[in-house]
Amino acid sequence: MTNVLMEIQSQLKVHKGQRNNFGKYNYRSCEDILEALKPLLKANNANLVLDDEIKQVGDLVFVEASATLKWGFATDGTASAVTVKAQAGIDANRKGMDIAQSFGSSSSYARKYALAGLFLLDDTKDADATNTHGKSAPEPARMTNDDLKQFMEVMTSDGLFDFVTEEEKDALKHARDFDLAKKIKDNAAKRKDGK
């Protein structure tokens, strides 16, 4: 880790200046983070590049945002850099939004969390992650190492493992979600059957 990144991380403060009156919570937006970052980037002769990539794992479509901090520019154009990525699902049928708004909302959300990871913004529970708008949502059960091993053994014995994409394997390894495992198994079975 370099002094430039540590300097920006230690100085960056972004208050939750936005308000969701429906959910009755304060939050910070991606734009709030960027606004607070600009003077620190200039002072440290650094720049920030944000990039989005749309991905699909089975039926799940999501945006993966990358936040790359670059500094220490040499005369040949090279620089030191560090990148952090974050993902957010895209619901093309989200009530009250057209498709462009749905993609834009997911992009902004993923970028916000990539920036939060890169610049170590506070780890207090953000209402964006905990707000249920009055509805209680159960925590998804996470797979243990034994669960994951057993799932892989079943997939192999059923001849489905060869039909699981690398992205699906990676997503399952990180999410360890039983619902995602079921989707991956169903998708692999469809691929095996040629559907």
Q: Tell me: the pLDDT tens digits for 15-28?
A: 888 888 777 788 89
What's the predicted TM-score (pTM) here? 0.61
Are 145 and 136 spatial neighbours (Cβ–Cβ below 8 Å)? no
The C-alpha atoms of residue 154 and residue 181 are separated, in whole angstroms, by 11
Q: Tell me: the pLDDT tens digits for 63-108?
A: 999 999 999 888 888 899 999 999 999 988 888 888 899 899 999 9
How do the domains of the chain map onto residue ranges? 3-130, 145-192
